[in-house]
Structure 1
């Protein structure tokens, strides 16, 4: 086998570095087996795994690389690869790779240390760490600041369930969201995103707000909370709560609608999803009257929610069948994916309640957003520290002062 050597060049970044080193290797008719270069705060690191032809004397070649590196004010290190080393490296290329995303208001060393320690304990090897979020002024109390880093790891965890439990514990104790995904092409090729509405796209449960107007807010809110935690059947609790609103004037709908606020990050998320060609949908156990308004504000393609029955200007206390419950949300996700010519792995689903779990489980990326404990523990991914725009990071996007560039490998 021809000689193989790993060349590492480090030092203050010089624009001509790559061309200078590869130019020397080109003169020797060397093959490039692997290459990687990074620049972090003006410090460059270039690594090249080169195969040198038998007819070329390796020592003068490497001496020339060393001299050029010195002229550039950089350091060069060489590591010879034996046949066994090369086979080991080749075998490693076939190992599974995963993405660990850390998302928080402000990244701390403790958060990164704890997450990386969990990964290492479970047999994962960190190959690369990159910052996805934009820079912030050091020491500032900048409102809405974001910290997000992405770790590329190779290997398979020996006990995925235990690892997930440990990630959830770190997330809870250190105020950081941790997502663990397979590093696949489909991760960067999703094209349909569906969302729950209440407490997901808007910062309220509409049925609770209507109940406040009717003077029975606490009674209805208690039922809603138990239903979202998964303690009550959604359809039964929905009918029970709606029946309590019988006789409420239709004018209350406009009153409540005027007070509703979009969730943090919703406008940025949907603007980017539209720009990137996603189809979007609301799949909600809430009400059409409000969902249509959210659709108009965010430019959403499809809406499926419940229609309130109104007679003589008053709510009858029932909704038009069929009720959009957990199973219907899951069915609608499948129907929309088929309609758009997509596999389920190319879909994203986001919600906060127990009635969202079936669709979160079916989607390629299912995200429990600011969810109840049961939902957060059951969903594969969860975001609690940031707004809805944090979902973009899970899709592999970089933040460049509020612009996002796709980073699909």
Structure 2
């Protein structure tokens, strides 16, 4: 469906609010405003329900009793203030989600200038250009509604000047995305229950991360170092990790991997992905066996943030030009230090404090928050002779 006419506040909100009561899902949106004239096109997936048509007609035929010049004079000058992007990700993306964001934009006295689709697969993503808005206040306004509506919403300045990226969310295991490499090693040592008990104490707040790590590693004393090969074989890349790194590298980003796990497991993955920097805890080995001790400082919450600063300094970049991706409380300092902190399938406390959140299980969805369309990614992959399936592990 296409709506065209004089631009005025509330058109986008009115349309998607009307559609929210129908069974439609949003596949594509394009909105532009040229010299006060608005064109809004929406592609919907629907079973032909007449409620969709009725909702659209109700908005399109809304009576207006004043011309464009009089309308603009009545509501005053265009909103002043900054410009920002609002990015919505959904699988599916519903009219209710778009309506909620449009309502919050209007409530702040801001204006939607343009909407464009960033991706249709594996999630539907649209980017909304807003004038007159404020990033912190709009981010707070949409955060709660986004959770209720089952979509991800990121509010950011018009362009994140990012040139470096660090992540702790590259990997998972077949058993659980939260399974730690120390747990896999403990299984080989026959002490999995002991390590699980230490992890549980840490989750209850009885141990901090460093204490927990030292106790877990102590349980591995005497283990043959050869079992590290089995652990490495059990680790799988998060879907989309290859595409994310490959695309960022094409764009000239420096990419780093920082982990509270073990470098003996992390480094081979970093090499596989051609990551520029890798930082994790190191296990002490003597005579081919683990001693149960960690070498050097523990890579904890503060250590991850320090690693980000070190990476940025090594590349001659200010922290404002960095992106950090994480999923746990140990990532919070790193997310806060970065120019853009993204919570990926994270705990609620992390999502609440991060600049943006992604809850779909594809790491390359982070690209859409940086304004990189899916089509451009696929075109670049095709030029290199790669198949879209290569993004999966």
TM range (shorter): 0.7 to 0.9
The CA deviation at 1:166 is 5.1
Tell me, yes or no, if the aligned pair for 2:88 and 2:125 is still in contact at 8 Å. yes
Asked if residue 385 in structure 1 is aligned to residue 360 in structure 2, the reply is yes
C-alpha distance in 2 between matches for 1:209 and 1:105? 33
The CA deviation at 1:175 is 2.2
Q: Select 1:316's aligned residue among 288, 291, 295.
A: 291
Deviations 1:306-362 (A, max 9, x none): 110112222111110122222222122112212212111110111112111111001
Higher mean displacement: 260-269 or 376-385: 376-385
Tell me, yes or no, if the aligned pair for 2:172 and 2:235 is still in contact at 8 Å. no
Corresponding residue number in structure 2 for 1:47: 34
The CA deviation at 1:393 is 0.6
C-alpha distance in 2 between matches for 1:49 and 1:80? 8
Corresponding residue number in structure 1 for 2:378: 403
C-alpha distance in 2 between matches for 1:156 and 1:45? 18
Tell me, yes or no, if the aligned pair for 1:229 and 1:372 is still in contact at 8 Å. no
Deviations 1:22-76 (A, max 9, x none): xxxxxxxxxxxxxxxxxx99999773479xxxxxxxxxxxxxxxxxxxxxxxxxx
Corresponding residue number in structure 2 for 1:328: 303
C-alpha distance in 2 between matches for 1:146 and 1:388? 11
C-alpha distance in 1 between matches for 2:335 and 2:31? 41
The CA deviation at 1:118 is 3.6
1:224/1:393 CA distance change after superposition, 3 Å:
farther
Q: Which has the larger radius of gyration?
A: 1
C-alpha distance in 1 between matches for 2:266 and 2:370? 25
- SS of the counterpart of 1:336? helix
Corresponding residue number in structure 2 for 1:210: 185
Corresponding residue number in structure 2 for 1:106: 92
Q: What pairs up with 1:192-203 in 2 under 5 angstroms?
A: 192-196=164-168, 203=177
The CA deviation at 1:221 is 3.8
1:9/1:377 CA distance change after superposition, 3 Å:
closer
- SS of the counterpart of 1:349? strand
C-alpha distance in 1 between matches for 2:28 and 2:90? 22
Q: What pairs up with 1:169-184 in 2 under 5 angstroms?
A: 169-184=144-159
Corresponding residue number in structure 1 for 2:22: none
C-alpha distance in 2 between matches for 1:375 and 1:282? 19
Asked if residue 153 in structure 1 is aligned to residue 130 in structure 2, the reply is yes
- SS of the counterpart of 1:282? strand
Tell me, yes or no, if the aligned pair for 1:348 and 1:363 is still in contact at 8 Å. yes
Higher mean displacement: 344-353 or 245-254: 245-254
Corresponding residue number in structure 2 for 1:258: 233
Q: What pairs up with 1:345-356 in 2 under 5 angstroms?
A: 345-356=320-331
The CA deviation at 1:373 is 2.2
C-alpha distance in 2 between matches for 1:41 and 1:379? 27
Asked if residue 96 in structure 1 is aligned to residue 82 in structure 2, the reply is yes
Tell me, yes or no, if the aligned pair for 1:229 and 1:375 is still in contact at 8 Å. no
1:197/1:402 CA distance change after superposition, 3 Å:
closer
Corresponding residue number in structure 1 for 2:19: none
- Per the normalisation by structure 1, the TM-score is 0.70
Deviations 1:255-310 (A, max 9, x none): 11111100010000011011001111112121111111111221101111111011
Asked if residue 220 in structure 1 is aligned to residue 192 in structure 2, the reply is no
Asked if residue 128 in structure 1 is aligned to residue 119 in structure 2, the reply is no
1:344/1:233 CA distance change after superposition, 3 Å:
same
Aligned Cα RMSD in Å? 3.5
Q: Select 1:342's aligned residue among 300, 311, 317.
A: 317
Corresponding residue number in structure 2 for 1:293: 268
C-alpha distance in 2 between matches for 1:42 and 1:347? 30
Tell me, yes or no, if the aligned pair for 2:238 and 2:363 is still in contact at 8 Å. yes
1:361/1:297 CA distance change after superposition, 3 Å:
same
C-alpha distance in 1 between matches for 2:33 and 2:157? 27
Tell me, yes or no, if the aligned pair for 1:118 and 1:167 is still in contact at 8 Å. yes
Structure 2 gaps of 5+ residues are: 8-26, 38-65, 381-393
1:117/1:295 CA distance change after superposition, 3 Å:
same
The CA deviation at 1:208 is 2.0
- SS of the counterpart of 1:285? strand
C-alpha distance in 2 between matches for 1:110 and 1:87? 26
